[in-house]
Amino acid sequence: MYIFVDTANTDEIREAASWGIVSGVTTNPSLIAKEGRDFKTVVKEITGIVDGSISAEVMADDAEGMIAEGRELAAIHPNITIKIPMTEEGLKAVHVLSKEDIKTNVTLIFSAAQALLAARAGASYVSPFVGRLDDIGNEGLRVIEDIVTIFALHEIGTKIIAASIRTPMHVLDCARAGADIATVPFGVLKKMFRHPLTDQGIAQFKKDWEDAGLK
């Protein structure tokens, strides 16, 4: 499973990219708004940091508007993936943009049925939201498992991005379930590094080295 970083903060993206683990970036309107910077400037900057899919979301409600925004964003850099919400208008836009070889990521997916429709419309990626389903007492992971099963059974090439990841366990569960990618917030990536036995081990190695008078 590949790891994308789920943030519009370019310092976080730079830091995560320096660890060598980042294959792409996802942003959304809330993440962009949090940065208080110009949308296109941020997206362009990200393309200079990570050589992989960079999702940038359209804001129009109608297909025509989404297609226009999608073409404009795609012109910024070949790695831009157009993030489009899971609506009828959204899928119309996916259908048109995919024929123009513009990559699309259908977002706000909460069921396997939605994922199947998005894939058939030509989506390059689907983004099922694990955490938001858990938040309302559903099992987000079950949706990932269903989509993985259905896409494998019908040889659907659309990639599954497990989104709305809240914990390191979410990442592992999605990897076990067979998601192609997990898009992970910076804070969760940092938590994935930590293990008390690693810290203890480092401290012990240092102590033994120093006690033996080694340089």
Which residues here bind ligand E4P, judged by CB under 6 A?
Answer: 6, 26, 28, 107, 127, 129, 131-132, 163-164, 183
Least Å from the CB of residue 188 to ligand E4P: 10
Of 67 and 127, which CB lies nearer to ligand E4P in the complex structure? Answer: 127
In sequence order, the 6+-apart residues with CB closer than 8 A to the CB of 214 are none
Least Å from the CB of residue 74 to ligand E4P: 18
Phi/psi-derived region of residue 135, left when phi > 0, alpha when psi is between -120 and 50, beta in every other case: alpha
Of 169 and 202, which CB lies nearer to ligand E4P in the complex structure? Answer: 169
Least Å from the CB of residue 203 to ligand E4P: 34
Taking the CA atoms of the chain, what radius of gyration do you get in angstroms?
Answer: 19
Of 142 and 207, which CB lies nearer to ligand E4P in the complex structure? Answer: 142
Report the alpha-carbon distance of residue 198 to residue 118 in Å, rounded.
42
In sequence order, the 6+-apart residues with CB closer than 8 A to the CB of 201 are none
Least Å from the CB of residue 132 to ligand E4P: 5
83 assigned to active site: yes
Of 77 and 166, which CB lies nearer to ligand E4P in the complex structure? Answer: 166
Of 125 and 202, which CB lies nearer to ligand E4P in the complex structure? Answer: 125
CB 83 within 8 A of CB 133: no
> What DSSP element (H or E) covers 84?
strand 80-85
Least Å from the CB of residue 56 to ligand E4P: 11
Burial class (CB in 10 A: 0-12, 13-18, 19+), 66: buried
From the list 40, 44, 83, 215, the catalytic residue is 83
**CA 71 to chain CA mean position, Å:** 21
Could you tell me which of 43, 9, 24, 2 has the C-alpha nearest to residue 186?
Answer: 9
Please identify every residue annotated as catalytic.
Answer: 83
